[in-house]
Amino acid sequence: MAALAGRVAAVREEMARAADAAGRNAEEISLCAVCKGQDAGLIRQSALLRVDCFGENRSQEMAQHMAAGAYRDKPCHFIGHLQTNKVRFVVGEVRLIHSVDSQRLLNAIQKEAARKGVLQDILIQINIGEEASKTGAPREALWPLIDLAMGLPALRLCGLMAIPPAFDNSPISRGYFAQMRGLFDEVRERLGKGQPFDTLSMGMSDSYFAAILEGATLIRVGRGIFGERA
């Protein structure tokens, strides 16, 4: 527990330093603890610390963590690649789905949310590095996805997410985060006030400093909190 508490405190300090350097308020940045591969007991301990929410990559592992009460009363987010045949295990179970990257997935989430009578918050994931191997929508698909999402009544479009090609705080990494911030601002402007479009999910253990400098409102940290994965 002491090691875990020390790592969370260190991440919080670094978040505050980054926010300071960017002239931002650290309170407006959420810390999402990424639980993939972690033991439910350890996650449960971390829930007593200053983490705001938990991020899961796989619906099956998420179900196990949930059954064990691993998150206590904190919200869970789905951050991994979501297949349409897994949508029913995720919709209505999580506060926010970060990884929506196709019209097909938007329609599947709408259908399931309507069936369950829930309003599902989502982010659109952009493949900002245009990597063939990566999930996320290509940039040119952004506007059609936004237009579709805005017309689906069981969804609330809350922002954007990205996993850039560089995983560090280098200028290259920062450049990708800056591009995401540009897209985020464009969408926010076009949607106008009164929309819940306020989340920019970017930055991981080795890159969150740069992400915060460029405007991340939520960072997803795994190893930085739980240590190296087994």
Ligand X SMILES: *Cc1c(COP(=O)(O)O)cnc(C)c1O
SS3 of residue 201 by DSSP: strand
Figure out which of the listed residues 50, 72, 115, 223 binds ligand X, where binding follows CB under 6 A: 223
Indicate whether 15 belongs to the interface with ligand X (CB under 6 A).
no
- CB 102 to ligand X: min, Å: 17
Figure out which of the listed residues 102, 110, 173, 205 binds ligand X, where binding follows CB under 6 A: 205
Q: Which residue is nearest to ligand X (CB)?
A: 222
* Residue among 36 and 116 whose Cβ is closer to ligand X: 36
* Residue among 159 and 224 whose Cβ is closer to ligand X: 224
* Residue among 31 and 91 whose Cβ is closer to ligand X: 31
For helices 142-150 and 171-191, give the axis angle rounded to 10 degrees.
40
CA 220, CA 213: separation in Å to the nearest integer?
Answer: 15
Among the listed ranges 61-69, 112-120, 169-177, 215-223, the one in contact with ligand X (CB under 6 A) is 215-223
Residue 218 contacts residue 29 (beta carbons within 8 Å): yes
CA 170, CA 104: separation in Å to the nearest integer?
Answer: 35
Among the listed ranges 66-74, 142-150, 185-193, 214-222, the one in contact with ligand X (CB under 6 A) is 214-222
Give every CB contact of residue 103 below 8 A, 6+ residues apart in sequence.
144, 145, 148
Sign of CA dihedral 181, 80, 62, 70: negative
Q: Rule CB under 6 A: which of 154-193 touch ligand X?
A: 163
For residue 18, which amino acid is it?
A
Indicate whether 30 belongs to the interface with ligand X (CB under 6 A).
no
Nearest CA to 124 among 165, 66, 163, 173? 163
Figure out which of the listed residues 34, 49, 53, 100 binds ligand X, where binding follows CB under 6 A: 34
Indicate whether 136 belongs to the interface with ligand X (CB under 6 A).
no
Figure out which of the listed residues 57, 84, 135, 195 binds ligand X, where binding follows CB under 6 A: 57
String marking each residue 61-90 x if it binds ligand X according to CB under 6 A: ------------------xx----------
Ramachandran quadrant class, 126 (left: phi over 0; alpha: psi -120 to 50; beta: rest): beta
Question: Any bridge partners for residue 78, and if so which?
Answer: 56, 97
User: Under the rule (CB under 6 A), what is the footprint of ligand X?
Assistant: 34, 36, 57, 79-80, 163, 204-205, 220-224
